[in-house]
Amino acid sequence: MKDTNDAGGIPTGEVPAPRRAGLPLPPAAVPPGPQDGDITEGLAEAYWSVYDGAASQASVGQILVRLPRIVRRIGRLAWSADRTATVAVVVLQLASAAMTAFGLMASVAVLRELFAEGPTPDRVRAAVPQLLVVVGFLSARALLEAGVAVAQARVTPKIRTGLECEFLELTAHVRLEVVDDADWHDEAYRANDRGLFYARQIVGQVVSLAAALLGLVGTAGVLAVLHPALLPLLLLSVLPVGAAAVRTARARFHSFKRWNALQRRVRVFSWLLLERDAAAELRSDTAQGALLEEHRRLTTRIAAEDTRLGVSSAGLTLAGRAVGGIGTGVTYAALGAMLIAGWLPLASGAGAVLAVQAAQSSLTRLVDVSHLVYEHAMWVDDLLAFQQRCRELQPRRAGAPAPETVGMITLDNVSFTYPGKDTPALNGISMTLRAGEKVAFVGVNGSGKSTCARLLAGLYEAEESGAVRWDGVDVREMDAESLQARVSCVLQDPVRFPFSALANLTISRGTLTEADPQRALVAARASGAEQVIAGLPGTWGALLSKRFRGGQELSAGQWAKIAVARGLYKNAPVLLLDEPTASMDPRAEHAVYQAVLRDTRRSDQITVLISHRLASVVECDRIFVFEGGRITETGTHQELMDLDGEYAAMFTLQAAGYRAEAGEAA
Ligand SMILES: Nc1ncnc2c1ncn2[C@@H]1O[C@H](COP(=O)(O)OP(=O)(O)OP(=O)(O)O)[C@@H](O)[C@H]1O
């Protein structure tokens, strides 16, 4: 026995104290949010804002160069989602643009009749057939546009659902250590939050872009038919309007960036004020006032930003109209000159006015939508690149399936370092676990117990130098998913699945609908979940989530029992219990360990218990003591007590604590 403090009978000095890192005294005033200056400055470099405002910074040339590639990419997505609908969108859109051009030509014919010689009633009567043709073309265009909308409505949700399902499928399967990588998380969040959101919109925007472009081309064609000299005139009229539209669109994007950044910050506060998870702590800390104050401050800034945007938009629109007006004035002057010179009949001149106006509105739309498409396509590209990256981070799908039962698992000189860390979490671990054995991993916080358990389960892979073998076969040669299906993991903070009590068990076998009733009851009995479920209205069918109407809430300890039941229900050849009982009351904890350690349901199961309460592991066949990523002691409880090392010190410390409390109580 090592030195003890005689006064209390409690040993001191045996358990190494945690290392202390120097931390300076914090400032008396908590650093505020970005109160002064531009509130968005702190967010400008936020990982999710990387493409915000890109359209306002790109030159017109850059936008134009990139657009065809974007359209091709979206076209490919649409093509793979629904070929018929994609073809329909393209064909109907082209036909609709043709109807616009024909309608314009027919309008010119109407004007020609109206401006012809003769009494007015005769001219009007003569114009009626042409007028009916105009109505016919416009009606056809309306029908075709409706067709485009229907085809678009068919293809857009398919693209969205396809991308979303693929995104979740890929991210939910990436290797576990990838999920620990903060950069990957940032990218995943961005792809989910932005990429998927804009992918939903971009098809419609590309269709609008095509419609505006075709409209512009159509009106140019009409003008060329009326008189070739009208084409340069068109340029004269659209260039100033285009320049004004570019300026307005950019200003809008700049403003959107600022406004959007503010909105996101506000959402953080709204979420904290609303969320159930934060509710109890918020009230006990009486923190609502402080959060509300911050929320109010930000929303006031948003209101100011809204007003600023409104005013500046009005100014810019006015400036844009002035520039466009000059262009239109010059156009009309040139048109007048052509009429006076007799280059053009009066009816064609009036038709040209109609065509120029149509072209100007098509161009304004084109500029607007090009900016949107340019920026949103970056997010879609980002999403697609992220998905590609996830494909490279998937676990092995090839290799032999893991065996149904396992006779022996060996760890041979296994080391593991988490991504982004310098020091290994495990350093040269070797052990052999046999079927039917129940072992425990103990040791101070951060000593590597959980990491080792996860390597055993094939959730992490050992570095090159070492190997984890199941019955002599390196797990790196096995299909990863089949390996995970052979391991039940019960963790300290189990997932609280918002499903029925029964589905909370069956999910460990990969199903929410099919249950083995007998197995479920046995698992619930052994884990102590039986009483929990029996006490719920609806018992097995009770919905375990307060987020849904009629849902039930469980305490942390009750959830722990459900989690243990889930692990037992899986009935896998390997059972890992990583401190699952920390939130249980002592009686429940004792019952769980008794059930697991004396379990006779599966005599070939390898059971690994991780626990800080050493009384729970006394009955294990072997105990491994971890320290700094290495195993420092191994043996049965008695052997380790006789060794009088680290384990004996920790055990005596805990036991003395209980004895002291019992003494005080007596
Ligand atoms: N996901 C992770 N990413 C990076 N480092 C990690 C991660 N998980 C654990 N670590 C680090 O690896 C080391 C071993 O951690 P591990 O969780 O295996 O210890 P443990 O013995 O199970 O601790 P505890 O008793 O606190 O559960 C620690 O230094 C820890 O900081």
447 close to ligand 1 (CB < 6 Angstrom): yes
Do 369 and 442 share a domain, yes or no? Answer: no
Do 241 and 362 lie in a common domain?
yes
Residue at 97 is within a domain: no
A 10 A CB-CB count for 625 gives 24
Question: Which domain, by its residues, includes 257?
Answer: 60-81+156-392
Which domain-ending residue is among 571, 588, 612?
A: 571
**Residue where a domain stops, chosen among 392, 419, 442:** 392
Q: State whether 527 and 658 are in the same domain.
A: no
Q: How far is the CA of 546 from the centre of ligand 1 (A)?
A: 31
d(CA 244, CA 316): 8
384 and 526 share a domain? no
What was the pLDDT predicted at 439? 95
Q: What is the 3-state secondary structure (H, E, C) of 278-337?
A: HHHHHHHCCCHHHHHHHHHHHHHHHHHHHHHHHHHHHHHHHHHHHHHHHHHHHHHHHHHH
Which residue, 261, 148, 257, 267, is CA-closest to 206? 148
Residues 233 and 342 both lie in one domain: yes
- Residue (of 581, 531, 39) closest to 258 by Cα position: 39
336 and 218 share one domain: yes
Specify whether the CB–CB gap between 308 and 256 falls below 8 A. Answer: no
Ligand 1 centre to CA of 494 (Å) is 17
> Ligand 1 pocket test: which of 415, 418, 444, 576 has the largest number of ligand atoms within 8 Å of its C-beta?
418
Q: Whose CA is closest to atom 27 on ligand 1?
A: 445
**Can you tell me the distance from the alpha carbon of 448 to that of 427, in angstroms, rounded to the nearest whole number?**
9
Q: How far is the CA of 46 from the centre of ligand 1 (A)?
A: 28
**Cβ of 423 below 6 Å from ligand 1:** no
User: Crossing angle of helices 586-597/517-527, nearest 10°?
Assistant: 130
Torsion on CA atoms 151, 155, 157, 162, rounded to nearest 10 = 170
Alpha carbon distance 373, 207 (integer Å): 10
- Check whether residue 352 and residue 246 sit in a common domain: yes
Is residue 382 included in any domain, yes or no? yes
- Provide the 3-class DSSP secondary structure of residue 446: coil
CA distance 646 to 624: 11
- Tokens 């320049």 locate to 243
Nearest one of 73, 92, 68 to 154, comparing CA atoms: 92
Rounded Cα gap, residues 426 and 462, in angstroms: 9
Question: Which residues have C-beta within 8 Å of that of residue 108, sequence separation ≥ 6?
Answer: 222, 226, 347, 348, 350, 351, 354
Tokens encoding 408: 């022996």
**Shortest-distance Cα residue to atom 29 of ligand 1:** 446
Tell me how far CA of residue 81 lies from CA of 149, 156, 167, 171, 335, in angstroms: 16, 8, 15, 21, 48
- Pocket lining: 449 vs ligand 1, CB cutoff 6 Å: yes
Asked if residue 228 and residue 192 are part of one domain, the reply reads yes
What's residue 9's pLDDT? 40
Tokens for 285, please give them.
Answer: 């800390």
Q: Of all protein residues, whose CA lies closest to atom 31 belonging to ligand 1?
A: 446
CB of 611 shorter than 6 A to ligand 1:
no
Domain CATH code at residue 380: 1.20.1560.10
Residue 15 belongs to some domain of the structure:
no
What is the Å distance from ligand 1's center to 418 Cα? 9
What's the alpha-carbon Rg for the chain, to the nearest Å? Answer: 36
607 and 592 Cβ atoms separated by less than 8 Å: no
Q: How many helices (H) and strands (E) does the chain have?
A: 20, 12
Among residues 36, 18, 73, which one has the least CA distance to residue 444?
18
423 and 445 co-located in one domain: yes
| 165 and 250 share one domain | yes
* DSSP codes joined into one string, 197-238: HHHHHHHHHHHHHHHHHHHHHHHHHHHHHH-TTHHHHHHHHH
| C-alpha 609 – ligand 1 centre gap (Å) | 16
Alpha carbon of 458 to ligand 1 centroid (Å): 16
Task: Give SS3 for 473.
Answer: strand
Count Cβ atoms below 10 Å from residue 663 Cβ, excluding itself. 10
Question: What are the structure tokens assigned to 637, written together?
Answer: 């409880």
Ligand 1: which of 447, 613, 630 to mutate, most ligand atoms within 8 Å of CB? 447
Q: Any idea what DSSP says for residue 599?
A: -
42 assigned to some structural domain: no
Residues 270 and 350 in one domain: yes
The amino acid at residue 110 is V
Place of tokens 């389960």: 457
Asked whether residue 444 is domain-assigned, the answer is: yes
Estimate to the nearest angstrom the gap between the alpha carbon of 624 and the chain centroid: 39
pTM value?
A: 0.73
Q: Which atom of ligand 1 is found nearest the CA of 451?
A: 18
472 assigned to some structural domain? yes
Interstrand relation of 622-627 and 438-443 (parallel, antiparallel or unpaired): parallel
The answer to the question of residue 7 being in a domain is: no
Burial 561-585 (b: 16+ CB within 10 A, else e): bbbbbbbbbbbbbbbbbbbbbebbe
pLDDT value of position 46: 53
DSSP strand pairing (473-474 vs 467-470): antiparallel
Q: Which two tokens stand for residue 570?
A: 């899986």
> What total number of domains does the chain contain?
3
Which CATH number do you get for residue 424? 3.40.50.300
CB–CB of 593/618 below 8 Å? Answer: no
Of the candidates 442, 465, 464, 444, the residue with the CA atom closest to the CA atom of residue 453: 442
Residue nearest to atom 24 of ligand 1 (CA): 445
Residue at a domain's end among 392, 413, 430: 392
Strands 574-578 and 606-610: parallel
Give the number of residues written for the chain. Answer: 666
Whether ipTM exceeds 0.95 = yes
Identify the bridge partners of residue 433 per DSSP, sorted by sequence position. 409
CA distance 174 to 390: 6
For residues 84, 86, 92 and 97, what is the CA-based torsion angle, rounded to 10 degrees?
-160
pLDDT at residue 3, as a whole number: 41
451 lines ligand 1 (CB under 6 A): yes
* Same domain assignment for residues 319 and 194: yes
Residue 344 lies in a domain: yes
Q: Which tens digits make up the pLDDT trace of 93-115?
A: 999 989 988 988 888 888 888 87
Residues in the chain, pLDDT under 50: 1-18, 34-40, 42-45
Helix ranges, 341-394 (H): 346-392
